[in-house]
Homo-oligomer: A and B are copies of this chain.
Amino acid sequence: MKAEILAVGTELLMGQIANTNAQYISSKLPEVGLGVYYHSVVGDNPDRLQESLKLALERCDVVITTGGLGPTQDDLTKETIARAFGKKLVLHEESLNDIKSFFIRVGRQMTSNNEKQAYMPEGCIILENNNGTAPGCIIEEGSKTVIMLPGPPSEMKPMFDEAVMPYFKKKSKFLIESRFLRVFGIGESAMETLIMDLIDGQLNPTIATYAKEGEVTLRVSAKIKDGESADSILNPVINEIKERTGECLYSDADQNLDEVAAKLLIEKNITIAAAESCTGGLISEMLTNIPGISKVFIGGAVTYSNESKSELLGVKKETLQKYGAVSCQTAAEMAEGIRKRLNTDISVSVTGIAGPDGGTAEKPVGLVYIGLSSEKGTITKELRLSGNRKRIRNVTALNVFDIIRRHVMGLEN
């Protein structure tokens, strides 16, 4: 079955926003056996929308529209599509009540043009909107299906997940189930070599690799027919990959490395502090984005100058003079300093040259030292990273979360 995603909205054609709705929907439809063949975008113009709809229905079985369901005069998707199918718009009482309750809930005055949103094409399946006022709907006509969803991603995504995916799952002869394995410490080419025979040999499940700033994600997807178990198809391949990637595999549930490290700390109740130079607070910021971290994250220091390294962390002036701020000795003293100061179980530290300036022949941009201190002692690691400032900071943070993960799990560091 072929699908097209047709976005309606002048703001997309003006470049004010990117079409992330199409991306989101496209990433999900293969799970229910639908292939996305086209994306298209038109403005809030009924003629061009009608032409685009006609074309989409000619070339695809399923057309999913986003946008144009709002209360203003510009919002014409429902009206235009109903007309194309020769359907009237009729008042849907339940939707009207939902819209009224929504306005009461958010404490805003409902204006009369919001009523327009409760008029739906006759005979359609209504999709409730729990996050806004515009309901969505599904029109089934012969072999064709048109699904209209609201434009704001905060309304579109939950409606798609809660109503559209189950609708297709019921109809689909098979499902695609995917697992995402996350690996840190093996490059993309090395990873492809490592599992080449698995990629080449397999039809079901299939394996795809994606590289992203210093890490690799593997997607393992199985086609599941009625009565089959996803696990029985997926697990043998996943176990084989786990065997081969060993300690470098840090998640089989598509979690980020910072999340995995933070959850290990929370689970084992290990308190932590961070001392950062070139990452400028990024590691503290990422850690404090994880819900529940306040139980174990005590605090951190961002020490950009030599003075602040001495004053906040107690790094010795001789160390800075003899080895420099970017050295494994300084990284070690930073980690030890913050741990002592905040009396935590473990601590991490970063000092390096993120660029674009500040590099020398001896200490080039991308040279970073990270440290981890615990009652067992202090370890440091030298990184030599490439890319721009942002990439160097991000990959450094990943390395710090990996050193935490390995320490907590008792793996080699």
Q: How far apart are A57's CB and chain B's nearest CB, in angstroms?
A: 15
Task: Assess the A294–B304 pair: CB atoms within 8 A.
Answer: yes
The interface centre, meaning the residue of A12, A28, A210, A304 with most chain B CB atoms within 10 A of its CB, is A304
Report the stretch among A36-44, A63-71, A86-94, A158-166 that lies at the interface: A36-44
Kindly provide the distance from the CB of A360 to the nearest chain B CB, expressed in whole angstroms.
15
Interface string of A13-47 (1 = CB under 8 A from B): 11111111011111110100000111111110000
Answer yes or no: A299 CB below 8 A from chain B CBs.
Answer: yes
- Chain B CB within 8 A of A270 CB: no
Residues of B within 8 A of A22 (CB): 12, 15, 18-19, 41
| B283 near A299: Cβ-Cβ < 8 Å | no
Does A274 make an interface contact (CB < 8 A)? Answer: yes
Residues 267-314 of A contacting B (Cβ, < 8 Å): 273-274, 276, 279-285, 287-289, 291, 293-294, 297-305, 307-309, 311-312
For the complex, give the distance between the alpha carbons of A18 and B18 in Å.
Answer: 7
Does the CB pair B13–A311 fall under 8 Å? no
A363 at the interface (CB under 8 A from B): no
- Measured CB to CB, the nearest residue on chain B to A17 is B23
Query: In the complex, how many angstroms separate the beta carbon of A291 from the nearest chain B beta carbon?
Result: 7
Would you call A341 an interface residue if the criterion is a C-beta within 8 Å of the partner chain's C-beta atoms?
yes
Contacts of A305 in B (CB 8 A): 294, 298-299, 342
User: A96: shortest Cβ distance to chain B, in Å?
Assistant: 26
| A298 B307 Cβ-Cβ under 8 A | yes
- Whether A304 pairs with B308 at a CB distance below 8 angstroms is no
**Is B14 a contact partner of A26 (Cβ separation < 8 A)?**
yes
Chain B nearest CB: distance from A306 CB in Å? 10
Number of chain copies forming the complex = 2
Q: A288, B299: Cβ atoms under 8 Å?
A: no
A301: contacting residue among B24, B25, B299, CB under 8 A: B299
Of B210, B302, B341, B389, the contact of A274 (CB 8 Å cutoff): B302
Residues from chain B with a CB closer than 8 A to the CB of A390 are 289
On chain B, the residues within 8 Å of A210 by CB distance are: 16
Residues of A within 8 A of B (CB): 7, 12-20, 22-28, 30, 36-43, 48, 52, 55, 210, 273-274, 276, 279-285, 287-289, 291, 293-294, 297-305, 307-309, 311-312, 341-343, 356-358, 389-390
Lowest 9 A-B CB distances belong to which pairs? A280-B288, A15-B27, A299-B308, A281-B281, A281-B284, A15-B26, A39-B41, A281-B285, A300-B302
